[in-house]
Amino acid sequence: MPHNIFISENLHALSRAAAEMFIRIGGEAIERNNRFTVALSGGSTPKLLFQILSSGEFRLRIDWTKTFFFFGDERHVEPNSAESNYRMARENLFKPLEIPAENVFRWRTEWQNAGEIALNYEKTLTDFFKTELPRFDLILLGMGADGHTASLFPETSALIETQKLAVANWVKKLDSFRLTLTFRLINNAANIIFLVGGAEKAEMLKTVLEGEFEPQKFPAQNVNPRDGNLFWLIEKDAARLLSAD
């Protein structure tokens, strides 16, 4: 089991802990490189984190003009769709903080062809970072009850992608393409934070952290930064089956 596991009493405590880490990592990155690059996660868990970051003390503790936002994955829906990860971040983070449009890099999900969207996002990444293998200061990830992370679902082709940074991943059980960063890029990050909440994820979390290494079945097991830090921030109900040590 990884050492950097932090268990919180509830989702609010987890989100505040994540906000503290976000601000610390971001502040250090700005001090070092005059910018902070972060890839956001989708789903419901980070919504409260975004609301905390964009209100009260936290909004004053970092230079948001030097913070650049990307997305670890996205659904192939219009950017105004209720299912859009971009829309959720826009409403709960970007608009309240008045983040400049040029600091936000979204997947062009209004395009018809999912493969072209992924190619465009990879070019966006390499153009911004000016390197073939970008290194994010921080990537936020969640984990589904099936063990997926980002849109890297069990037994899908993206799990074995070793060259591309961003792909359109066909997910049979969803009967749709999902757009996602690949493990090649994710595992090059300086810091990765998993946010995991909900009792329904307890069994899978135990499997991912303590079970046999079977990343085709449990993709979250494949997150292992080569030269970076990995943190698991877990809500108590999700952690209830983990070993005491």
In a domain, 243, yes or no: no
Residue 175, phi then psi, degrees to nearest 5: 55, 45
- The CATH number linked to 69 is 3.40.50.1360
pLDDT at 18: 97
Residue written as tokens 């099936």?
Answer: 146
In a domain, 241, yes or no: no
Beta strands across the sheet bearing 138-142: 5-8, 229-235, 191-196, 138-142, 36-40, 67-71
The DSSP result for 6-40, as a single string, is EEESSHHHHHHHHHHHHHHHHHHHHHHHS-EEEEE
Q: Tokens at residue 122, please?
A: 């990879």
Q: Tokens at residue 17, please?
A: 């802990």
The DSSP result for the chain, as a single string, is --S-EEEESSHHHHHHHHHHHHHHHHHHHHHHHS-EEEEE--SSTHHHHHHHHTSGGGGGSS-GGGEEEEESEEESS-TTSTT-HHHHHIIIIIHHHT--GGGB----TTSS-HHHHHHHHHHHHHHHHTSSS---SEEEEE--TTS-BTTB-TT-GGGG--S-SEEEEEEGGGTEEEEEE-HHHHTT-SEEEEEE--GGGHHHHHHHHHS---TTT-GGGG---TTSEEEEEEETTTTTTS---
In a domain, 58, yes or no: yes
In a domain, 9, yes or no: yes
In a domain, 198, yes or no: yes
In a domain, 244, yes or no: no
Q: What angle, 0 to 180 degrees and rounded to 10, lies between the N-to-C axes of helices 46-53 and 11-33?
A: 60
Contact by Cβ (8 Å): 187, 225: yes
Nearest to 50 by CA among 195, 239, 191, 223: 195
pLDDT at 99: 98
In a domain, 85, yes or no: yes
Q: Which domain holds residue 45?
A: 5-235
Q: What is the count of structural domains for the chain?
A: 1
pTM of the complete model beyond 0.85:
yes
Q: How far apart are CA 209 and CA 235, in angstroms?
A: 15
Taking only the tens of pLDDT, the chain with its 245 residues reads 456 999 999 999 999 999 999 999 999 999 999 999 999 998 888 999 999 999 989 999 999 999 999 999 999 999 999 999 999 999 999 999 999 999 999 999 999 999 999 999 999 999 999 999 999 999 999 999 999 999 999 999 999 999 999 999 999 999 999 999 999 999 999 999 999 999 999 999 999 999 999 999 999 999 999 999 999 999 999 999 999 76
pLDDT at 245: 65
In a domain, 74, yes or no: yes
